[in-house]
Amino acid sequence: MNSLRTTLAVLCVLLASCSGGEPDQRIVLGFSQIGAESEWRTANSESIKSAAKTMDIDLRFSDAQQKQENQIKALRSFIAQKVDVIAFSPVVETGWDSVLSEAKAAKIPVILTDRAVTADPSLYIGFIGSDFVEEGRKAGRIVNDKFKDATGTVNIVELQGTVGAAPANDRKKGFEEIIATNPRLKIVRSQSGDFTRAKGKEVMEAFLKSHDKIDVLYAHNDDMAIGAIQAIEEAGLRPGKDIFIVSIDAVKGAFQAMIAGKLNATIECNPLLGPQLMTSATEVVAGRPIPKRIVVDEQVFTMETAKQHIQSRKY
């Protein structure tokens, strides 16, 4: 019997040696993405996948297809899989307390990326992303500067992002904060375009039918602005000239529109968060603290500066 046990033990050692010996020690990161609704989101997903590969992190990636219920299912799946870290970019701000409490009970740290949530801050350890309110303020300053000498009312239409989403709420808040300082600037219509090109075009068509005079279009992202530009041209107007247009994200399509003279300005919202997320996950697993809020550095680009920057754009 002892001889049999010894033989089995030797076989186990040999098998372990042949299969690589040590078990996989890579960090396992479960990530739930909103979807693929825009050029920005595609670049964001690619950055995360590429950074995980570069840093040898086992990435479990889930696409929520714009639905919060899909994200909650994905997060619960990650908890069941006992991943080391969970990260996600929330579709909307509210409704996360239960699933985040489940992750905390399972002792799995959660990192937010791109968008914030209105939940107990103790339920997540950090948030990596842009300052959406400041992006709205930058857009407001551009419009305010352009029309600072206007004598009559300046009619503004606004293409909002997804209802309830943090960037939609905050970009609206920041923009309104700035234009409130100039009584001539007036938002006459504001409606969600769901951050998509097709919806942006559809809503802009409705704006044009209901208003004879539109001076400014403020779009919460470039994709909606590009869709709106199509609607403006089909209505026989000149985007960028007859209607001043400012949007947010700074994707390549926006630079092409600025060079063509159809978009006046775009505010950068950097999607390349992958390296920062992987670094943060590594720090957390090692037991080291990360900042509660990590803000990305971003720029403003105009029709006049677009050509000199387009070749260096990575998204």
Question: How far is the C-alpha of 67 from the C-alpha of 69, rounded, in Å?
Answer: 5
Distance CA 89, CA 110 (A): 11
Tell me whether the CATH fold assigned to 25-129+271-296 matches the one assigned to 132-269. yes
The yes/no answer on whether domain 25-129+271-296 falls in CATH 3.40.50.2300 is: yes
> Per-block average pLDDT, block size 10, for the chain (315 residues)?
43 41 79 93 96 98 96 98 98 96 98 95 96 97 96 97 95 98 97 97 98 96 98 98 98 97 97 96 97 91 95 86
Look at residue 166 in the predicted model and tell me its pLDDT: 93
Any idea where the domains of the chain sit in the sequence? 25-129+271-296, 132-269
What is the predicted pLDDT for the residue at 314?
82
Q: CA–CA separation, 245 vs 84, rounded Å? A: 44
CATH T-level fold of 132-269 = Rossmann fold (3.40.50)
pLDDT of res. 315: 87
Q: What is the pTM of this model?
A: 0.84
Do strands 244-249 and 185-192 pair parallel, antiparallel, or not at all (unpaired)? Answer: unpaired
Task: Give 86's strand partners.
Answer: 30, 110
